[in-house]
Amino acid sequence: MKISVITVVYNRANTIEKAIQSVIAQDYHDIEYVVVDGGSTDGTLTVINNYIDHIHQYISDKDDGMYDALNKGIKLATGDIIGVLHADDWFASHHIISKIAKEFEQNHQLDAVYGDIAFIKENDPNKVVRYYSSSVFKPALLTWGFIPAHPTFFCKRKCFEKFGYYKTDFDIAADYELLLRFFKVHNIQAKYLPVRVTNMNLGGKSTSGIRSTVKINQEILKACRQNNIRSNYLKLYARYFFKIKEYFSKKI
């Protein structure tokens, strides 16, 4: 079973190497690594070229944002399963892809697998600031704005081909919209894997302040309306009371 890992990157010379190395270090034998660069100018391409023998599909060209780049990567990928590793992130151990593959091999009815994510303090890779366990996720919670940790989501390629790709009219919540569509509209079969899959550096688009909080909730409500699913701002903002506990759950 081939698993495609997609990294999209733009001007991340300081972090992309760690992401690449965490893919190379995986002990699973059949990984296709896809890198989509948006035309970096800061030295990112030099880092990528240092590892070009480990990258199976690679393009460097201007895109219309992260979600457009992800769609390019998915369409390039030839694996049975597709997962995303952002340029600021890295896999939590050398065995992650093996564990994910095992779940799909044991249950052919599965469409997707997802796990946990740790948010790491910048410049201190051993400091877990926040830990999100996707064990709390249920599809019914999507209308409250809850999703499984998207950077841990591995899905069969055929789901994208059948149900569609990331919508590029979203700036910050196309991942939410896609998961809402897959889980609530098309009822994909997914399983939670009780493992820390990914480490994420704090400071991404969806974790960077009040403005991004307001915008992401606006886009979540937009996604619900596009998919004929009812929600409201009261429900969406209420979830932040539950998210507080993530700062007190720092699993290893």
Q: What is the pLDDT of residue 249?
A: 59
Confidence band of 239 (pLDDT split at 50, 70, 90): confident
pLDDT at 246 over 80: no
Instruction: Count CB-CB contacts under 10 A for residue 192.
Output: 18
Which residue from 126, 116, 76 is spatially nearest to 196, judged by alpha carbons?
Answer: 116
Tokens 């035309």 map to which residue?
39
Confidence band of 168 (pLDDT split at 50, 70, 90): very high
When computed from its CA atoms, the radius of gyration of the chain, rounded to whole angstroms, is 17
pLDDT at 33 over 60: yes
Q: What is the pLDDT of residue 160?
A: 98
- What digits encode the pLDDT tens for the residues 173-212? 999 999 999 999 999 999 999 999 999 988 554 445 688 8
Range with lowest mean pLDDT among 2-11, 117-126, 200-209, 214-223:
200-209
Rounded to whole angstroms, the Cα distance separating 31 from 81 reads 10
- What digits encode the pLDDT tens for the residues 132-147? 999 999 999 999 999 9
Q: What is the pLDDT of residue 125?
A: 80
**Domains defined along the chain, listed by start:** 3-248 (3.90.550.10)
The model's pTM:
0.92
Range with lowest mean pLDDT among 77-86, 101-110, 215-224, 233-242:
233-242
Q: Average pLDDT, stretch 39-64?
A: 97
Q: What is the pLDDT of residue 203?
A: 58
Q: What is the pLDDT of residue 240?
A: 77
Give the angle 18-64-159 at the CA atoms, nearest 5°. 75
Rounded to whole angstroms, the Cα distance separating 70 from 252 reads 29
